[in-house]
Amino acid sequence: MIELSKPLVSFPEILEYLPQRPPMVMVDSYYGSFNDEAYTSLYISRDNILLENDELSEMGMMDFLAQSGIVQMGNMTFITEFSKESKMGVICQFKNFKFYSKAKIGETIYGKVNKTFSNETMASLDVEAFTESKILLKGTINAMIINNETDAD
C-alpha cells in the first residue's frame, strides 16, 4: 500500500516531472507507485488560479488529474529507461470523465493513477480524484510519450 502521509516528491522538486510552472502547477506531491498505481495530491490554496467560488473548478480538477498522469508517466519512464533521454507525457484524450463533487480552499485532494496500457509511444491511465471523504472525478486519460530532451552524448 502507498503511505499517503509521506510524499516521495514534493514542491518544488516535483517541477522536475512537469512542464507546467506556477501558477499552472496543479500537483504538489507524489507518493510513489505500486503495481502500476500511483498517488498524488494537491493542497487547494487561496491563490490557486483555477478556483471558482472558493472551490477548485472543473478545470482545476481535470488539470490535477492530467498533471498527475504526466508525473506518473515521467516517473515510470525515468525508472525504466536506461538511456539519457528525458521523456514527457502529452495528454491527447480525456474519456469517460464523470464529475461527482468539488473540494474547497484548505482541503487536500488526492489523485490515483492506474496505468492500464503502455508501450514506447502511448499510455492509457485510469484516473480518480478524491478527498478523505468523497470522490470528486473519475475518468480515463490517453497520452502520447514524447522525447522531451536528448543528451547528445
Partner 1 sequence: MKQMLINNFFKIIEHTQENERAIFIIELNKNHPIYEGHFPGSPIVPGVCSIEIMKECAEFYLNTSLYYDSIEQCKFLSPIDPVKTAFLTISLQIISLNENEYSISGTILNQLTHCVSIKSKVKKKA
Kind and range of the H or E element at 76?
helix 58-80
Is 22 a residue that touches partner 1 (CB under 8 A)?
Answer: yes
Out of 9, 66, 71, 125, the only residue in the binding site for partner 1 (CB under 8 A) is 66
Contact predicate 111/129, CB 8 Å: yes
Span near partner 1 by CB under 8 A; candidates 22-30, 75-83, 105-113, 114-122: 22-30
Q: How far is the CB of 58 from partner 1 (least distance, A)?
A: 5
Binding-site residue total for partner 1 (CB under 8 A)?
27
Is 95 a residue that touches partner 1 (CB under 8 A)?
Answer: yes
Distance from C-alpha of 58 to C-alpha of 116, rounded to nearest angstrom? 24
Out of 80, 98, 120, 151, the only residue in the binding site for partner 1 (CB under 8 A) is 98
Query: Do you know the residue count of the chain?
Result: 153
Is 133 a residue that touches partner 1 (CB under 8 A)?
Answer: no
Is 93 a residue that touches partner 1 (CB under 8 A)?
Answer: yes
Integer CA distances (angstroms), 67 to 50, 82, 151, in order = 14, 24, 24
The interface with partner 1 within residues 45-64 (CB under 8 A) comprises 49-50, 52, 57-60, 62-63
Which burial class, exposed, middle or buried, applies to 68 when counting CB atoms under 10 A from its CB (0-12, 13-18, 19+)?
A: buried
Q: Is the peptide bond before 7 cis (omega within 30 degrees of 0)?
A: no
Binding site for partner 1 (CB under 8 A): 19-25, 49-50, 52, 57-60, 62-63, 66, 91-99, 139
